[in-house]
Amino acid sequence: MQVAVTPSGPVQGRRVAVTGLGAITCAGIGVEALWSALAKSTAPESKRIAPFDASHIGGPKELRRFDPFTLYGLMAADEAWLQSGLTGPILDAGSIVTTGIGGLQTVIEQLRILNEKGPDRVSPFMVPMMMPNAATAAVSMRFGLGGPAETVTTACAAGTHAIGNAARLVASGRSTVAVAGGAEAVIVAIAEAGFRNMTALSNGDFSRPFDVDRDGFVMGEGAGILVLEEWEHALGRGATILAEVIGAASTADAYHITAPDPSGHGAIRCMELALADAGISAADVSHINAHGTSTPLNDLAESVAVRHVFGQSPPPVTSIKGHLGHSLAAAGALEGVVSVLTLVNQLVPPTAGTVNVDPECGLDVVIGEPRALDVDVVLSNSFGFGGHNGSVIFRRF
């Protein structure tokens, strides 16, 4: 039965099923490669994506017109769409594929051409390759998605916001289907220099989320995509439902352009709003997929917020950034994918790189080996530069 839509939260309304997942990361191509890597206690040494075959996406001429972040988004979306079993075109279907920075590699390459060969040699495709909405546009065109095609650019919270906003499209009745996620490809010298000079990056080769010796993150890249679908529509066509999106929220710290509010006030409100939107209590949450960047201030502020919402014995926590590094806007999307995989497999992956959990954080961080757990509800958090906070809640089907 269709429930009356109310304005009190983004996901209240029609039920929202997850029917497809896709991923491309340093662990390899596809969701299976990602999940296999996360089961290990050690992380891939390189956070770069190795060369891969994208001939199913297009020919050499077409592929050259995609910045890597768009190609990553298309690769992940293609996997998720295939798993969903949907076929396009779908006139009301939405697409929200986000990025934090967009086509930075294209900008760098075209600046080189400008300086070496002059303005007449700059590619006429530079603008559509570099623009942050390129991945959303490419996904909508590939599958014939004629509904809202939007890009949320809220730094490291953007992937989670994309999932929440796409769920709202489906729940409200605006879209029957929505493709949601994020993509990022900015492991380049200028980006690394910028993050390093603001002391955000680790001096080592691995992130150590919530570890007493954490000193920053390592950069990652990739894409995560979820196909969301109105529940009855999915059941009616015999789709395999992987999980349900039951709540989401977004708030701002209104505090500082890069540093989190140490009180965790914005993050607290975000989690509480997401719980209220889902119609559940903190006690109903089985597991938290944390933002867990491995920076001293962010991990501590997140821990303060989690303990405020969940008390002194929060549910088990993991951060996949220990395995994959921090892929900015793609991070929340990949964490959404992993949250669904955790529900499907009833297994919480460990936090790679973390050995000695900081007692000041006071969290039950899963380390060493995967933890078998009766997981009914997963809360996934993302917090980004600018004070952007995002939470999304998934339930087992």
Q: Which residue has the tokens 């997140």?
A: 302
Given a cut of 90, whether residue 7 has pLDDT beyond it is: no
Any catalytic annotation for residue 161? no
pLDDT mean over 144-150: 98
Any catalytic annotation for residue 326? yes
Q: What is the pLDDT of residues 340-397, one digit of tens each?
A: 999 999 999 999 999 999 999 999 999 999 999 999 999 999 999 999 999 999 999 9
| Distance of alpha carbon 87 from the chain centroid | 24
| Distance of alpha carbon 184 from the chain centroid | 10
Give the closest residue to 264 by CA, choosing from 317, 316, 308: 308
* Angle (CA) 234 136 344, round 5°: 40
Residue 12: band (very low, low, confident or very high) from pLDDT cuts 50, 70, 90 = confident
Of these residues, 265, 287, 291, 388, which one is catalytic? 291
Residue 204: band (very low, low, confident or very high) from pLDDT cuts 50, 70, 90 = confident
Of these residues, 161, 287, 326, 388, which one is catalytic? 326
Domain ranges of the chain: 16-396
Q: What is the pLDDT of residues 263-274, one digit of tens each?
A: 999 999 999 999
pLDDT on residue 315: 98
Residue 312: band (very low, low, confident or very high) from pLDDT cuts 50, 70, 90 = confident
Q: What is the pLDDT of residues 45-78, one digit of tens each?
A: 999 999 999 999 999 999 999 999 999 999 999 9
Q: Which helix (H) or strand (E) covers residue 318, if one does?
A: strand 317-318
Query: What CATH homologous superfamily does 16-396 map to?
Result: Thiolase/Chalcone synthase (3.40.47.10)
SS (HEC) of 201-223: ECCCCCCCCCECCCCCECECCEE
Given a cut of 80, whether residue 3 has pLDDT beyond it is: no
Q: Is the dihedral of CA 308, 312, 315, 318 positive or negative?
A: positive
Give the closest residue to 188 by CA, choosing from 68, 44, 344, 10: 68
> Cβ(226)–Cβ(335) under 8 Å?
no
> Cβ(110)–Cβ(341) under 8 Å?
no
**What whole-number distance in Å separates Cα of residue 141 and Cα of residue 136?**
9
Radius of gyration of the chain (CA): 20
Residue 109: band (very low, low, confident or very high) from pLDDT cuts 50, 70, 90 = very high
Residue 10: band (very low, low, confident or very high) from pLDDT cuts 50, 70, 90 = low
Pairing of strands 94-98, 177-184: parallel
SS3 252: strand
